[in-house]
Amino acid sequence: MKIILAFTGIFITFTITGFAQVPSGTDVIKEIDKNLVLDNAISFTTMIIHGRNGSRSIKSKNWIEGKDKAFVEYTDPAREKGKKMLKLGDQLWNYFPEPIDRIITISGHLLRQSVMGSDLSYEDITENRKLMDMYNAKVTGSERINDRNCYVVELTAKREDITYYRRKLWVDKERWIPLKEERYAKSGKPLKRSELLEVFSIENRWYPKRMLHHDLMQNGEGTEYIIESIILHASISESQFTKAALKK
């Protein structure tokens, strides 16, 4: 009897340990959301667009509050300085300073257009929704990426209106941050690929420092997105997320 109990105990222990070693897809994306979804923050970023005729960089200051509000102001180079972008829910406005002096609405399928000729779309650049709210996840294996152990996680959209119907992530097992990602259309056609080149730690979370994005529909060399600095839980005035702020 003792032997049977001992074996049963050992079996249960191994089983529990085994399950604990491979988390569920939901657990993985919950951990990713903890790292990447911000309540409110102010960041300074540089976007280096590697085109067929060379590279160009664009600097910006970004304000973000929850999943629905974002504001971007381009600060450099001179030809982009003063251009602004405001996102409120599903709507997005671009402001072009003098001599154009226009506020232009970007909505619907135009949100999928490239920002400043980069490999990122308006949706990509202002996205702050939780993966948990958008996707069902499944861990399909383990691989090593850049000498780090990763879970391979496949995400499938919960709703039809989500731009990338399927995503494949290689998630760092210790830091819970995707080191590589592929995004697909519903047809299975690959649309975007991104790699995380550098990460940094801030307030007990890992956050991307430098990423390389490729729009697979374009023939460019990709776009680097660098977060120069970020202030979490920043105090942001409500007036920052208004159309009036665009013309200020």
Residues within the interface to another protein (CB under 8 A): 49, 51-54, 56, 79-80, 83, 93, 96, 99-105, 110, 114-118, 219-220, 243
**DSSP single-letter state for residue 185:** -
Q: Which SS3 state, helix, strand or coil, does residue 163 take?
A: coil
Q: How far is CA 21 from the centre of its chain?
A: 26
- Distance CA(70)–CA(89), nearest Å, equals 9
Q: Where are the extended beta strands (E) located within 146-189?
A: 148-157, 166-172, 178-184
* Shortest separation between residue 115's beta carbon and another protein, angstroms: 8
| Residue whose CB is less far from another protein, 44 or 93 | 93
**Listed residue (213, 54, 20, 121) closest to 12, CA to CA:** 20
In the numeric block, the tokens 């671009």 are attached to: 94
| Residue whose CB is less far from another protein, 16 or 110 | 110
**Listed residue (48, 47, 94) closest to 70, CA to CA:** 94
* Shortest separation between residue 73's beta carbon and another protein, angstroms: 15
* Shortest separation between residue 98's beta carbon and another protein, angstroms: 11
* Shortest separation between residue 67's beta carbon and another protein, angstroms: 24
Count of residues in the chain: 248
Beta pairing class for 54-65 and 102-106: unpaired
* Shortest separation between residue 232's beta carbon and another protein, angstroms: 30
| Residue whose CB is less far from another protein, 6 or 110 | 110
Take residue 219 and report the two structure tokens written for it.
């023939």
* Shortest separation between residue 69's beta carbon and another protein, angstroms: 19
| Residue whose CB is less far from another protein, 21 or 53 | 53
